[in-house]
Amino acid sequence: MDKIFNLSNVSETEKKEMLENKVDFSKKNSQIASESRKNSKSGKCLYCKKTTTSYCNSHSIPASFLKNIANGGKLLAHGGLIDLPLLNAESGVNNAGTFQVICRDCDGKIFSNYESKATYDSEIKQKTLAQIAMKNYLKTVSQRAFEIAFHDHLSDDSGIDLSSINNIKDIDLKENVRGFERAKKVDAKCVQDEYYLFFYEKLNYVVPIAFQHKIALAVDLEGDVINDLYNHDPKYKMQHLHLAVFPLEETSIVMMFIDKNDTRYRQFIRQFNKLALEDKLALSNYMIFLYSEDFFLSTSLDEEIVNDETLKRVSGSLGLALIGRNPIDSLKENYKLSEFKDIPNFLSQDLSVERK
Buried/exposed 32-44: b ≥16 CB within 10 Å, e otherwise: beeebeeebbeee
Number of structural domains the chain divides into: 1
Angle between helix axes 126-158 and 12-40 (nearest 10 degrees) is 100
What is the structure's pLDDT at 14? 54
Q: Is residue 356 part of a domain?
A: no
Q: Is residue 191 part of a domain?
A: yes
Cα separations in angstroms, 183 against 111, 163, 176, 352:
12, 30, 10, 32
58 bridge partner residues = 99
Collapsing DSSP to helix, strand or coil, 267 comes out as helix
Return the ∠ at Cα 343 (arms to 5 and 81), rounded to 5°.
Answer: 60
Amino acid identity, residue 336? K
Q: Name, in order, each residue with C-beta under 8 angstroms of 91's C-beta and a sequence gap of 6 or more.
A: 74, 75, 77, 97, 296
Alpha carbon distance 114, 128 (integer Å):
5
Alpha carbon distance 227, 262 (integer Å):
11
Q: Which domain holds residue 97?
A: 3-351
What is the structure's pLDDT at 324? 67
Strand order of the sheet with strand 74-76? 90-92, 74-76, 296-297, 209-215, 241-247, 252-259, 195-203
Neighbours of 251 (CB within 10 A): 18
Number of residues assigned to the chain = 356
Q: Is residue 252 part of a domain?
A: yes
Helices (H), 194-326: 266-273, 277-291, 303-306, 309-316
Tell me the whole-structure pTM to 2 decimals. 0.88
Q: How far is CA 243 from the centre of its chain?
A: 9
What is the structure's pLDDT at 83? 67
Q: Determine phi and psi for 34, rounding to 5 degrees.
A: -65, -45
Q: How far is it between the farthest Cα atoms of the chain?
A: 57
Give the count of alpha carbons within 13 A of 305, CB side only: 16
DSSP state of 71: B
DSSP state of 193: S
| Rg of the chain in Å (alpha carbons) | 20
Angle between helix axes 309-316 and 277-291 (nearest 10 degrees) is 50
296 bridge partner residues = 210
Q: Is residue 283 part of a domain?
A: yes
Q: Name, in order, each residue with C-beta under 8 angstroms of 62's C-beta and a sequence gap of 6 or more.
A: 111, 114, 115, 246
DSSP 226-254: S--TT---TTPPP--EEEEEEE-SS-EEE
Q: Is residue 291 part of a domain?
A: yes
Question: Tens-digit pLDDT profile for the chain (356 aa)?
Answer: 343 356 555 556 655 655 555 555 556 566 777 777 777 778 899 999 999 888 999 999 999 999 999 999 999 988 878 766 556 777 899 999 999 999 999 999 999 999 999 999 999 999 999 999 999 999 999 999 888 988 887 777 777 788 888 888 888 999 999 999 999 999 999 889 999 999 999 999 999 999 999 999 999 999 999 999 999 888 899 999 999 999 999 999 999 999 999 999 999 999 999 999 999 999 999 999 999 999 999 999 999 999 999 999 999 887 776 666 788 999 999 999 999 999 999 999 999 997 65
Collapsing DSSP to helix, strand or coil, 189 comes out as coil
Q: Determine phi and psi for 318, rounding to 5 degrees.
A: -95, -10
What is the structure's pLDDT at 220? 98
